[in-house]
Amino acid sequence: MSAARKQTNMVINRQESKLKFLHTFLNSLNNLTQQLLVATQY
């Protein structure tokens, strides 16, 4: 594998982990919001 290709793969992997983190974070936030909405209805 060429050096450029290795570098590209590293960058892609880094971006993917950032996206996974963001996705998890947003899911947690969404769950929390749902719980708050339910809680405020009572």
12, pLDDT greater than 90: yes
What secondary structure letter does DSSP report for 30?
H
Q: Is 36 strand, coil or helix? A: helix
What secondary structure letter does DSSP report for 14?
H
Candidates 20, 39, 17, 38; CA nearest to 28 is 20
**pLDDT one-digit tens code per residue, 17-34:** 999 999 999 999 999 999
- The domain of 28 spans 1-42
The one-letter amino acid at 13:
N
Distance of alpha carbon 33 from alpha carbon 14, whole angstroms: 29
Q: What is the pLDDT of residue 40?
A: 92
Domain count, the chain: 1
The dihedral built from the CA positions of residue 38, 39, 41 and 42, taken in this order, carries a sign that is positive
Average model confidence (pLDDT) across the chain: 96
